[in-house]
Amino acid sequence: MKDFQTIGIITKQNINENLATLKKLTKYLKRKKKEILFDTNSSPLITRKKGLTRHQILQKSNMVIILGGDGTLLKTASYIKKDVPVLVINLGRLGFLTEVSPDELEKGLDKIFNNKFKIDSRTLLRVTVYRNDKKIKTFLALNEAAINQGAFARLIELKTHTDDELITNYIADGLIFSTPTGSTAHSLSAGGPIVHPILPAMIITPICPYRLSTRPIVLPNDKTVTVEITTERHQKYHIGLTVDGQETFPLKFGDKIKVRKSSRNLLLIKLHEKYYKILREKLHWGQ
């Protein structure tokens, strides 16, 4: 039996557009005598206080409720430090990773507080950038990390190894490293496979490769993949790393990017077994 006594609330940026849902959630949790921790977006609307950061919410809560969409969850995932279950109430558009709608809020929470739910552990990628053999930046990715060139449609060369073995020297517009969770995101748009989220896998998907024989590949996620930027570019031709579509980092000739499974996981609260239903609805299969 899970004792969810301290509930953290993390919301999308413009939560004032969904103030009624926030108030409904707050009223419900108070009725259940839960301690509520509000983030910096929601607290001024309810308590007139400053509120806590995402990092503080995740550290101090034993359950977190996100009011938003997939983007809000992706922003939150990078702050994960400990195993705290997360429930996402969909206020966004696509909602691949969300669990309940605002109309289902009370019914869904009743199930959770009566211990009628499952925990879905999702893999995170640890993405580290090295420059001149020195670690300069590390990211966590729930969906993917992509190496590409901003506005310029020019090929770049990316020498890619797994552990001590050469995979290939990719010549492409870029390269996407995806978790199974992210297989239905950027990787799918670039022609990558759909991989069930519980599989222990890492997907490498080239973006518009020069050779048509260069295809996406699925690796076991106990491997460390290293990519070296082997194309030198003038300053105006930017090569960059984009993580979950939320963070960007400029890359230089000779940089090495190491991608591996993180020791941390994102724990999603699941109330229904609806993975294939989501694929049918969101991707319009059979229509």
Q: How far is CA 179 from CA 100, 204, 220, in A?
A: 23, 9, 11
Nearest-5° Cα angle at 32, 4 to 78: 40
Residue 137, token pair as written in the block: 């930046």
Cα 40 versus chain centre, distance: 21
Catalytic residue among 39, 70, 244, 255: 70
CA distance 182 to 47: 36
Three-state secondary structure call for residue 140: strand
Pairing label, strands 118-131, 256-270: antiparallel
Are 98 and 108 within 8 A, CB to CB?
no
Are 74 and 244 within 8 A, CB to CB?
yes
Q: How far is CA 108 from CA 1, 21, 32, 67, in A?
A: 17, 14, 14, 14
CA distance 104 to 117: 14
Active site (annotated) includes residue 133: no
Catalytic residues: 70
